[in-house]
Amino acid sequence: MIYTVTFNPSLDYTMEFDTIHEGKLNRAKYARITAGGKGINVSKILTRLNVDNLILGFVCGFTGDEIERSLSREGCASEFIRLDRGISRINVKVNSGQTTELNAPGPEIPPKDLDLLDKQLDRLGRGDFLVLAGNIPEGIPEFSYRMLINKMNSKGVKTVVDASGNALLSTLEFSPFLIKPNRQELSELFSTNALSRESIDRYAAELRSKGAANVLVSLDSEGAVLATENGDIIYRPAPEGKAVNPVGAGDAMVAGFLWGYTETGDYSEALKCGVAAGSASAFSQGSVSGDDIRALRRLL
């Protein structure tokens, strides 16, 4: 079973415009509301690929109710912890040729509810995967991910971390199974603005040497690089296509990688599946389907 944790779920309100005129009234040509958050995005793609998974995390208020209803309509299994106070956040995505994201702060998560999450994770065992996705909300101890990974290591659970900055770096000494920085996050980790293919390979290998078993670097339209625990560096270019919806493509790549790995146990095939899922998501104006991902996989 694959479990995903989203500390700070959201309702994502996405609006499409031909152009945006700042300081004036702009009318969207299309709008949609979906449940969002990085772990949730991973789970939605896994569900469409018929991979068993369960969404964990925290919700509250009327927006939390809609997050649960929305995921249920999509066939996603979830066991959220309900917070007593606050409301789950609403994030706005504005697409007018390029995407602008306006993300709201989330509710405070009390220590007693963090303890409930810890108890939920007691059920995980050898052979399971735990995906920790998104940065840690304000008010949550910065070392929360590393504590969870340490606990999972003792149970034989493979962990996946998709975060940035210290939230990611602090986990390396506990050897997560997979980390997935994107190009920008890799630049920030190594304080550089110039990333060649050679330097990406080198930095990915360096993160692996610091403790991560496998390092998957998403490179947008260029595909992805994988530094494996076997010492290999594998590059997979993205298929040709027009990226119209980049939001969530990195999450789809994580889901695709896990789909491929759990199906084959082969890193090269897992990378192919990750690139197929990320690209299919970016190419899709709305919700990408499992069939779309499978079709791209056959082309790679």
Active site residues: 251
The pairing of beta strand 178-179 with beta strand 99-102: unpaired
Report H helices in 61-220.
Answer: 61-73, 111-120, 144-154, 165-169, 183-189, 197-209
Amino acid at 178: L
**How far, in Å, are 14, 36, 140, 201 from residue 103 at the CA level?**
12, 11, 18, 31
Burial of 65 (0-12, 13-18, 19+ CB in 10 A): middle
Q: Name the residue with tokens 């695709």.
A: 256
